[in-house]
Amino acid sequence: MQNLYLPYQMRIEKIVEESPEKDLKTFELSFLDSQDAVDCKYLPGQFAEVSILGIGEAPFGIASAPCETGLVRFSVKKAGLFTENLHQAEVGDIIGLRGPLGNSWPLEKLKGKDIVIIGGGFAFTTLRSMIRFIIEPKNRKDFGQVDIVYGNRNPGQMLYKEELEEWLTRKDLNLHLTIDKPAEGWQNYVGFVPQITEQVIKPSHNAVSLVCGPPIMIKYTLPVLEKLGLNPERIYTSLEMKMKCGIGMCGRCNIGSKYVCKDGPVFSVAELEKLPSEY
């Protein structure tokens, strides 16, 4: 058995500067050892610990989808010591990956259902993984209608701009992009995510919703979804916490008796309602 703390070695293949503020980058990584690519099987919604030798390790949601074989993608906002260092990395640098960790979006419960995806800001990563998973030809028949609302403060902050352009033209999903305030040349919606959600989403009786974004967006979006007829059992979100081990041992990422790293990061709103609001 491989030691739990030993990371896969990854080469940075591509770095995409995602926002004009230059505080958001997407890193595309490949496995140095081909066997690792086979062993590292993940599902949309899972996360991994990314490491830089001599600096440390931090958890990030996996933004790529399992069908994109051989590569793993993360989008990282510059915020603290580790992310500052990661942002200085260059193509060709070798970093570590430990994972996949945590549960995933509830794939079994999503099968055969209409999917409502609500995302905001740079928390769109694992939602992007889920969407990419759904539209993979061999998976698409497993899901019903797919409606997406993705909002940002301004157009420049949209993650994965090229891909979003392509998704806007697709017939097998309905993508609604929105920004907070009008901007020159912006052809899509203007308004906050909860507002646009209320306007464009008409969930069917069997719809399930996946929500990920800044806390303020989540706070105002959940009542909208409930008003639209989605009960807390049918709304899922993904949480973030400071983590170290990622495997339920180091003791810091708990909310009540649940560890976000091992029991989460994905929880239904019904599950969260039973936990103390300490997150």
Q: Which residues pair with 259 in a beta bridge?
A: 254
Contact segment (CB under 8 A) with other proteins among 67-75, 77-85, 151-159, 224-232 equals 77-85
- Out of 18, 28, 57, 147, the only residue in the binding site for other proteins (CB under 8 A) is 57
Binding of residue 41 to other proteins (CB under 8 A): no
Residue 49 vs residues 81, 90, 245, 259: alpha-carbon distances, Å: 15, 19, 8, 16
- Out of 15, 174, 248, 271, the only residue in the binding site for other proteins (CB under 8 A) is 248
Binding of residue 80 to other proteins (CB under 8 A): yes
- 8 Å CB contact between 203 and 146: no
Classify burial at 221, counting beta carbons within 10 Å of its beta carbon; exposed 0-12, middle 13-18, buried 19 or more: buried
Binding of residue 245 to other proteins (CB under 8 A): yes
Binding of residue 70 to other proteins (CB under 8 A): no
Q: How many CA atoms lie within 13 A of 95 on its CB side?
A: 32
Both tokens assigned to 134: 């759904």
* Distance from the Cα of residue 3 to its chain's centroid: 27
Residues 109-148 that bind other proteins (CB under 8 A): none
Which amino acid type is present at position 124?
F
Both tokens assigned to 225: 């979804």
Measuring CA to CA, which residue among 175, 161, 211 is closest to residue 26?
Answer: 161
Which of 53/270 has CB closer to other proteins? Answer: 53
- Out of 130, 254, 266, 268, the only residue in the binding site for other proteins (CB under 8 A) is 254
Contact segment (CB under 8 A) with other proteins among 50-58, 60-68, 173-181, 198-206 equals 50-58
Binding of residue 90 to other proteins (CB under 8 A): no
- 8 Å CB contact between 219 and 175: no
- Out of 23, 56, 174, 220, the only residue in the binding site for other proteins (CB under 8 A) is 56
- Out of 53, 91, 183, 216, the only residue in the binding site for other proteins (CB under 8 A) is 53
The pair phi, psi for residue 228, each rounded to 5°, is -80, 0
Binding of residue 46 to other proteins (CB under 8 A): no
Bridging pattern class, strands 208-212 and 189-190: unpaired
Smallest distance, other proteins to C-beta of residue 178, A:
23
Binding of residue 216 to other proteins (CB under 8 A): no
Residues within the interface to other proteins (CB under 8 A)? 1, 3-7, 9, 32, 51, 53-58, 79-83, 94, 96, 240-242, 244-245, 247-257, 262, 276, 278-279
